Amino acid sequence: MKTSMQLFALGTWTKAIAASAVVLTTMIAGQAVAAGIADTKHNLGTSNPRVGENRVSAGTEEICVFCHTPHGADTTAPAPLWNKRLTTGAAYSTYATLNSSTIDGTMLAVGSVSLACLSCHDGTQAMDNIINAPGSGGYDVTGGGSTGLGYTWAGPRVDADGKMTGIANLGADLSNDHPIGIQYCGGGPNATTPTGACTDTDFVAPQNATINTNLVWWVDTSGGTAGTRQRTDMLLYTRSFGGTNGPSVECGSCHDPHAPAVGTQVAFLRVSNAGSALCLACHVK
Ligand code: HEC
Ligand code: HEC
Ligand code: HEC
Ligand code: HEC
């Protein structure tokens, strides 16, 4: 039978172990932060340290090459230095097909940065469709077509061709997804009246700035400095609504494809959605 002194010592020791476990967990979390995109599901190379994720087991250890190239990029693509063919032949249906009676904004056909995301996330094209393949002389404007470069894939949610399967494959029917290509706040702010009042006042008013003669919009979050566009703000993308440029919500408004998971900030979200903070950044509810 243990004496109360021994029990006390045991309790203290258990606490010490628990405390060091907290320190260790914090250290591991700290390392994940420093690792950046390398430690996310968007590292499709053999260098991805995460077990049980979609990645190539033979192909390349590079990370950025699945999306960007320093040279020979597709200049028609809506994302910078884009290294993938945009999906061909996917007939998207949008949220507009639901005829929601409460929508105020104009909804455009799928376009802008969303097309870049869907070049993997509609599941119709191999994720190793790469225009300028790693190494020299690997340029092919088709990126290898819908079956890509024939890399060997490992992972639970990818088929033998390298096409995404599972919940992250949104498919071509986008009517069950948050609207994209949707005019922000029902219109109001546009190229003619950048600070115009929102038609639908159930929205946080967007900020704007002119950068390199281009007018850009975003919704400030509490994640950064007010009045300055940062990756933790909800980016709005410029598209033409009825012939006048205005701000549009796209995949990249809510997601930063490079954002590592930090605490409750998961799924490449620009800010944590704890307490629905992400939704409330735009919607006044
Ligand atoms: C899974 C696809 C994907 C991967 C992998 C990826 N990016 Fe990106 N990146 C994008 C997309 C899409 C955009 C456009 C985002 C936007 O318009 O908001 C972008 C934008 C950028 C930008 C400009 C905007 C910004 O956030 O600064 C830079 C710089 C960039 N990427 C660098 C990199 C580097 C460096 C790597 C590799 C370490 C990388 N990216 C890996 C998809 C990717
Ligand atoms: C090169 C292919 C590729 C491109 C391009 C790409 N993704 Fe992904 N994405 C993936 C893969 C692979 C996964 C992991 C899927 C799985 O494990 O089921 C993923 C997962 C995600 C997830 C879920 C993350 C999680 O923690 O569950 C989100 C959100 C996401 N992507 C958003 C985007 C957005 C937004 C864009 C465009 C800005 C984009 N992706 C572009 C390949 C891509
Ligand atoms: C209005 C904000 C918003 C927009 C726009 C948006 N997403 Fe998301 N997305 C989210 C949130 C929030 C989550 C996290 C949901 C959760 O925790 O289950 C998410 C989750 C995801 C996931 C993970 C799916 C899952 O349930 O595991 C993928 C993949 C994804 N988004 C891709 C996209 C792509 C591609 C687009 C553009 C076609 C897009 N998102 C547009 C807010 C958005
Ligand atoms: C970047 C800004 C932004 C963010 C973040 C955002 N939304 Fe939206 N959302 C919009 C816009 C703009 C519309 C279109 C509203 C309109 O035109 O009436 C919309 C539409 C909707 C609709 C459809 C309304 C209808 O009348 O059919 C719902 C529901 C919704 N959002 C919920 C959410 C939820 C839940 C979140 C968080 C996961 C979220 N939104 C995040 C901008 C945003």
- CB atoms inside a 10 Å sphere around CB 170: 18
- Token pair for 154: 């490992």
The percent of residues above 90 in pLDDT, for the chain, comes to 80
Per-residue pLDDT, 29: 42
Band of pLDDT at residue 51, cut at 50, 70 and 90: confident
Least confident of 26-30, 139-143, 158-162, 192-196: 26-30
Ligand 1 pocket residues where CB is under 6 Å: 37, 42, 63-64, 66-68, 79-80, 113, 116, 231, 235, 252, 257-258
CA-proximal residue: ligand 2, atom 29 (nearest): 267
Question: Residue 258 class from Cβ within 10 Å (0-12 exposed, 13-18 middle, 19+ buried)?
Answer: middle
Tell me the C-alpha distance between 164 and 124, whole Å: 8
Q: Using one digit for the tens of pLDDT, what is the confidence trace for 263-281?
A: 888 999 999 999 999 999 9
- Token pair for 72: 């020979």
Least confident of 24-28, 134-138, 206-210, 240-244: 24-28
Torsion on CA atoms 63, 150, 174, 87, rounded to nearest 10: 90
Band of pLDDT at residue 107, cut at 50, 70 and 90: very high
> Is residue 176 within 6 Å of ligand 4 at its C-beta?
no
Tell me the C-alpha distance between 103 and 100, whole Å: 6
CA-proximal residue: ligand 1, atom 23 (nearest): 80
Per-residue pLDDT, 43: 96
Tell me the C-alpha distance between 198 and 185, whole Å: 6
CB-CB contact of 139 with 132 (8 Å): yes
Per-residue pLDDT, 16: 41
- Token pair for 230: 């940062």
Average pLDDT, whole number, for the chain? 89
* Centre of ligand 3 from the C-alpha of residue 130, in Å: 24
Per-residue pLDDT, 171: 96
Q: How many residues are present in the chain?
A: 285
Per-residue pLDDT, 88: 85
Per-residue pLDDT, 89: 76
State mean pLDDT over 61-69: 97
Q: For residue 180, which ligand has an atom nearest its CA?
A: 3
CB-CB contact of 146 with 101 (8 Å): no
Atom of ligand 3 nearest to the CA of 250: 5
Per-residue pLDDT, 49: 83
Residue 14: pLDDT over 70: no
Per-residue pLDDT, 35: 61
Residue 82: pLDDT over 70: yes
Tell me the C-alpha distance between 221 and 86, whole Å: 31
Tell me the C-alpha distance between 120 and 115, whole Å: 9
CA-proximal residue: ligand 1, atom 5 (nearest): 64
CB-CB contact of 38 with 47 (8 Å): yes
- Rg over alpha carbons for the chain, rounded to the nearest Å, is 23
CB-CB contact of 50 with 39 (8 Å): yes
State mean pLDDT over 199-225: 95
Per-residue pLDDT, 25: 41
